[in-house]
């Protein structure tokens, strides 16, 4: 999910960023893993992507309080071709020859589950599509929104499909994907690690909604972290839903941390499975680093996915 114009995500992130800014400054030194052990396999500061078969993107928000410009330039040096950052930073990406990966829309709380939100969602989605066209981004993110009392799951699904159908034609004409993100509802420990109450928390449900919209521009944002938390069986699902997947996010499980050996997902195997499907899009790093050296954590993650 991008640092974007999404209002309610910005609210959640502001709390996270404020806490991060209040934390004491971390001293430079060897990268330390979650388990407190020195990570000896961290790429050096001059590391650059070698294979590039997996085209990677990086989100800005998890690396706060690091200045976004510093992160962008570090990613550029690393050979990362795309970023998910706020629109104020799009000109720098263009200057450096990097892509804007995904634009925002209506947010994950106020979504099309409730028909009273449809006018707002349609307006924000069309605006996101226009912004994507302006900056050459391939995707606009969308969400179901939260479950609401008095709206059954069956009705919520119909409401979502009805809303997206009103935008799908515009997305088709503009050549931009609407990417529906699955979010987990299990983790309530942190506002960006899980989203209790979210309707689209099951990958099969999200696939069903996408197929009911019946548009080549309606796709699944397959967030490996969220799928693993809610459904598991990640590689089988990547193979099963190849034609429905428009984009990928990655982070460690559990905890949404680094892609290191304290986590349960074998990311090189996942990346090879993605490549085997013929996927030619991007994979976005969206983990929340806990290592003292956040850029070392990013280099490690980028190299892990460079299979």
For residue 36, what are its two tokens? 């407190």
Predicted pLDDT at 10: 38
| 46-305: CATH topology | TIM Barrel (3.20.20)
Q: Determine the Cα–Cα distance for residues 305 and 176; give it in Å rounded to an integer.
A: 26
The total of other beta-carbon atoms located within 10 Å of residue 58's CB is: 25
What does the mean pLDDT of the chain come to? 90
Averaged pLDDT for residues 166-170: 98
Chain-centroid distance of CA 128 in Å reads 16
Cα–Cα distances (Å) from 249 to 58, 212, 215, 220, 228, in that order, read 9, 23, 22, 11, 12
Q: Is the pLDDT of residue 160 over 60?
A: yes
Q: Is the pLDDT of residue 12 over 50?
A: no
Tens of pLDDT, residue by residue over 62-97, are 999 999 999 999 999 999 999 999 999 999 999 999
Q: What 3-state DSSP class applies to 157?
A: helix
Tens of pLDDT, residue by residue over 178-211, are 999 999 999 999 999 999 999 999 999 999 999 9
Predicted pLDDT at 188: 96
Show me where the domains of the chain are located: 46-305
Predicted pLDDT at 119: 98
Q: Determine the Cα–Cα distance for residues 189 and 256; give it in Å rounded to an integer.
A: 11
Looking at the whole model, is its pTM more than 0.85? yes
Averaged pLDDT for residues 38-48: 83
Q: Determine the Cα–Cα distance for residues 198 and 299; give it in Å rounded to an integer.
A: 32
């Amino acid at each position: 999910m991008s640092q974007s114009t999404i209002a309610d995500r910005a609210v959640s992130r502001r709390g996270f960023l404020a806490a991060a800014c209040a934390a004491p400054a971390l001293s430079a030194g060897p990268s330390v893993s979650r388990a407190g052990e020195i990570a000896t396999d961290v790429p050096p500061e001059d590391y650059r992507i070698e294979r590039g078969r997996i085209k990677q993107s990086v989100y800005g928000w998890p690396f706060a309080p690091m200045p976004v410009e510093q992160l962008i330039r570090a990613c550029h040096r690393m050979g990362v071709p795309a970023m998910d950052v706020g629109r104020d930073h799009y000109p720098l990406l263009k200057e450096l020859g990097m892509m804007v990966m995904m634009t925002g829309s209506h947010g994950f709380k106020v979504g099309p589950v409730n028909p009273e939100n449809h006018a707002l969602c349609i307006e924000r989605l069309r605006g996101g599509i226009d912004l994507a066209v302006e900056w050459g981004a391939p995707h606009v993110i969308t969400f179901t929104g939260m479950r609401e009392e008095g709206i059954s799951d069956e009705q919520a699904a119909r409401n979502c499909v009805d809303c997206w159908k009103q935008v799908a034609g515009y997305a088709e004409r503009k050549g931009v994907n609407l990417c529906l993100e699955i979010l987990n509802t299990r983790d309530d420990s942190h506002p960006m690690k899980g989203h209790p109450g979210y309707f689209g928390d099951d990958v099969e449900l999200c696939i069903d909604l996408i197929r009911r919209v019946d548009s080549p521009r309606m796709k699944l944002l397959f967030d490996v972290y969220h799928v693993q938390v809610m459904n598991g069986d990640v590689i089988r699902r990547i193979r099963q839903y190849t034609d429905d997947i428009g984009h990928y996010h990655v982070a460690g499980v559990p905890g949404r941390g680094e892609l290191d050996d304290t986590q349960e997902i074998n990311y090189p195997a996942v990346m090879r499975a993605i490549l085997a499907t013929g996927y030619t899009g991007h994979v976005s790093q969206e983990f929340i680093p806990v290592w003292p050296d956040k850029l070392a954590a990013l280099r490690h993650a980028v190299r892990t996915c460079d299979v």
